[in-house]
Structure 1
Amino acid sequence: MGIVTLCSFILLPQTTTKKGGFMTKNAYTVSSDLRHSTDPSPTVRWLLEHNASQSAAFLEPKVRQTRTMHRLEHPTLIGALKCIDGRLNLSIMTRVPLGIIQPFRNIGGKFDIGWPYLQTVLSEWFQFAYEKNKDCILFATYHYSKSDCRRGCKGFNYDTEAAKKAAEELRNRIQRIYADVTAIRIGVILVGIETDEDALILHGNNGEILSLANELDTPMPNLVRKIVGLFHCLNEGMLRDLIPLIEGNIKHIKCVRESNRSTIEFDHCECCLGVGRGFDWLHVPNKALLIGGYSFNVGEPIVKAAGIILDNLNQGRILREDGVVLMASALYWENKGLGVEKRLAIERAMSIAEYSLRKIEADPTVRPLIKHLSVIVGEVDMQTRFFKDRTSKFWEHRNFTSA
């Protein structure tokens, strides 16, 4: 699979006008000198090359076989409700193959099961499990840094107890809703993530806590007994399928400790703001802030994430010459439904990009990010994880509707 080339588009400020309280689409135009640039920023090049390589790896026969064997041996579906923070990559932390853990992201890991779009996405996931006769484990997560509270969750203003309480309430609400489902078993687990060592903290149904960072030398049979005692909501098969993630996290924590990684890796260093869905190929820690768009007010996490990236620039944690990127993505499954899912995904991605740009431009606290920003727009085929560039189409549409 060849590497996709993509022009880097930099937005230049112009006089803005408003209609009905919203910025018009001609608030920014693309520099004609850069419109057809063949020299995209290093970050744009890296993202596209990384996607191409990850898609190719995802389709490699040995990798597909590994993923297939894992699913056959451990059929329980596993998902994670988590923050947009680029450090929270559970596939790396647990050493399971890409595509095993389904991520759902929002600022601070804040979710309301009453949000219509979140209901739709989770219902589709549970329906898929029902059709395949698979049980589900869903992580409700929070995160923090043990070395410095300011390296914790900005979405909760670094208040770990508030983040934990919100995740616990989310777990309880989902459990109440699906408690009477008998066709499949749905277990919701409260999980903390300590980002200095990427360590998981498991919270039992009765308030017990098991920090895997404290269990590195515990014999696995003893650790399994502890986990069985924690989660009465999981049946034997679900517990068996959870164990590989536990084993993987313990191995990962050991490697992190042996590496003596620098404190700069503990902090935010993201240079990409991803909005939409279909980003699980981007499994590189601290590279991107990813927003799923589940809430009524998705503009709030977009602005907060833009603020984090702007602060990364101002504090020198990322290089200005590398550039920062807004990446709008929508996912689809080929050969599903009426056969128009790909075209719908393209339209979603373009709308996401337009909305995100307006929100960043309209907020004076993050507007300075615009002059550093490149934009990538496209859709991801979930059967290949390949991101298809539609950025030229986006700008053609934007200029046409702004005329």
Structure 2
Amino acid sequence: MPSTTLRNFVLELNRARSAEFCSPDAVDARRLYKKRHPTRILVFKCMDGRLNLSLLTGTPVGLLYPFRNMGGIFQLGCPYLGRLVLDLKEEALREGCRTLALCTYHFSKGSMQRGCAGHKYDIEASIIDADRLKGEFEAAFGYSQQVSAAIVVGVETDEDALSFHSNDGDFYVSEDLDLSPDEVYRKLADVYRGMSEEILNDLIPLVIGNQAYIRKHRAQTRHITELVHGENIIGVGRGMDWFLLPNRALFIGPYGTCWGEAVKVAGNIVLNNIRSGLVPEEDGCLLLISAPYAHRSELGMARLKARFLAEEATRALRQVEGLQFDTLAGVTALETRFYREL
């Protein structure tokens, strides 16, 4: 589809996703889920379009808080990122809830070259960075794992299988697909021995959902194009968890001073996808910009942020020789997930 058609596709997808998000069934499902599993879960992950934890755990949109960057590399000392994390933690405490950070890395068991390009396909380097981020959380918020906790989680992208790690052991969901919720709890408690019971309980639905997702895909034959990069949309900003299409978009949050470099890397990935035939050349590339706002009083600032992100991301992508792209910039209302073009 030409880039103009790609723009329309994204806007139509958002309208459908927003309507679904606002439907009475979806609203009630989120309320029930939050009542039963109140822990606020932050997910730190790579920009890779294959990584969508809401999808591979069956978690309703809006209940996981995603943060994206190249290679899943983050520094909590980044003023913008640190402020976002602190605000989410403080908001959770006001609601009487705990906070859990999933510091993820990803890899492919079938081919090293299907792993994380941001870490030059080095699994050990990916794990080291995830563990470093976990350490930063603990340095900032404490080590007790009673109110705020951080853990290292792996994502094996051939099966979209989660794994949980600590110094006390490992739990690979793909190796235990038939565990009951009680058995899942005991597995997690063995890996995270000092963790709050409430946080452990709130991890259970992620595991149960991932078990179901893996079983579903094992019953099917996944085409190789599902296992490698196939993106032709580059999302920059926040508030795009409604997208929910695997392997169609690379997402980058504006965290740190080098996020423009991540945009360039994303541009080269898309260009390679087009040149290798994984994406039809006529489909083109779309730069998708989103700045979220929670209240109408924040709308003006969100528009300014969207324009700033569009200018900086465009400047970065123009350095990718041979890449032709269109730009769609807008703001996302967090209450409805409705995206409005500027």
TM beyond 0.5: yes
Is residue 120 from structure 1 mapped to residue 83 from structure 2 by the alignment?
A: yes
Counterpart of 1:190 in structure 2 is 152
Residue 219 of structure 2 aligns to a residue whose secondary structure is helix
2: CA distance between counterparts of 1:277 and 1:135? 23
Which amino acid is the alignment partner of residue 189 of structure 1?
A: I
Alignment map for 1:43-62 (pairs within 5 Å) = 43-62=6-25
Gaps of 5+ in 2: none
Deviation at 1:254, TM superposition (A): 0.5
Deviation at 1:219, TM superposition (A): 4.2
Counterpart of 1:30 in structure 2 is none
Deviation at 1:83, TM superposition (A): 0.4
Contact persistence 2:290–2:329 (CA under 8 A)? yes
Contact persistence 2:119–2:125 (CA under 8 A)? yes
Which amino acid is the alignment partner of residue 192 of structure 1?
A: G
Q: Deviations over 1:277-318 (max 9, x none)?
A: 111011110010000011111111011011100100000101
Deviation at 1:128, TM superposition (A): 0.9
Name which of 301, 313, 333 aligns with 1:344: 301
Contact persistence 1:42–1:323 (CA under 8 A)? no
Which amino acid is the alignment partner of residue 96 of structure 2?
A: N
Is residue 78 from structure 1 mapped to residue 35 from structure 2 by the alignment?
A: no
Deviation at 1:66, TM superposition (A): 0.6
Counterpart of 1:234 in structure 2 is 195
Deviation at 1:218, TM superposition (A): 3.5
Is residue 270 from structure 1 mapped to residue 224 from structure 2 by the alignment?
A: no
Is residue 387 from structure 1 mapped to residue 339 from structure 2 by the alignment?
A: yes
Which amino acid is the alignment partner of residue 112 of structure 2?
A: C
Counterpart of 2:177 in structure 1 is 216
Deviation at 1:116, TM superposition (A): 1.1
Name which of 356, 376, 380 aligns with 2:313: 356
Contact persistence 2:143–2:149 (CA under 8 A)? no
1: CA distance between counterparts of 2:32 and 2:141? 29
Is residue 87 from structure 1 mapped to residue 50 from structure 2 by the alignment?
A: yes
State the TM-score, normalized to the length of structure 1. Answer: 0.82
Residue 243 of structure 1 aligns to a residue whose secondary structure is helix
Which amino acid is the alignment partner of residue 188 of structure 1?
A: A
Q: Deviations over 1:30-69 (max 9, x none)?
A: xxxxxxxxx9633212111111100000000011101111
Residue 80 of structure 1 aligns to a residue whose secondary structure is strand
Q: State the identity as a percent.
A: 36
Contact persistence 2:71–2:117 (CA under 8 A)? yes
Tell which structure's C-alpha radius of gyration is larger: 1
Contact persistence 1:126–1:136 (CA under 8 A)? yes
State the TM-score, normalized to the length of structure 2. Answer: 0.96
Counterpart of 2:325 in structure 1 is 373
Contact persistence 1:187–1:233 (CA under 8 A)? no
Counterpart of 2:261 in structure 1 is 300
2: CA distance between counterparts of 1:115 and 1:40? 34
Counterpart of 1:328 in structure 2 is 289
Gaps of 5+ in 1: 1-7, 9-38, 391-403
Deviation at 1:180, TM superposition (A): 6.9
How many residues of Structure 1 are paired with residues of Structure 2 in the alignment?
Answer: 342
Which amino acid is the alignment partner of residue 351 of structure 1?
A: F
Counterpart of 2:32 in structure 1 is 69
1: CA distance between counterparts of 2:89 and 2:326? 36
1: CA distance between counterparts of 2:197 and 2:329? 43
Residue 41 of structure 1 aligns to a residue whose secondary structure is helix
Counterpart of 1:258 in structure 2 is 219
Q: Deviations over 1:138-190 (max 9, x none)?
A: 100000011111111000000011001110111122112211789x7011010
Which amino acid is the alignment partner of residue 354 of structure 1?
A: E
1: CA distance between counterparts of 2:265 and 2:108? 19
Is residue 140 from structure 1 mapped to residue 103 from structure 2 by the alignment?
A: yes
Question: 1:55–1:219: structure 2 CA closer, same or farther, 3 Å change rule?
Answer: closer
Deviation at 1:209, TM superposition (A): 1.1
2: CA distance between counterparts of 1:238 and 1:128? 17
Which amino acid is the alignment partner of residue 169 of structure 1?
A: R
Residue 173 of structure 1 aligns to a residue whose secondary structure is helix
2: CA distance between counterparts of 1:68 and 1:321? 43
Question: 1:72–1:219: structure 2 CA closer, same or farther, 3 Å change rule?
Answer: closer
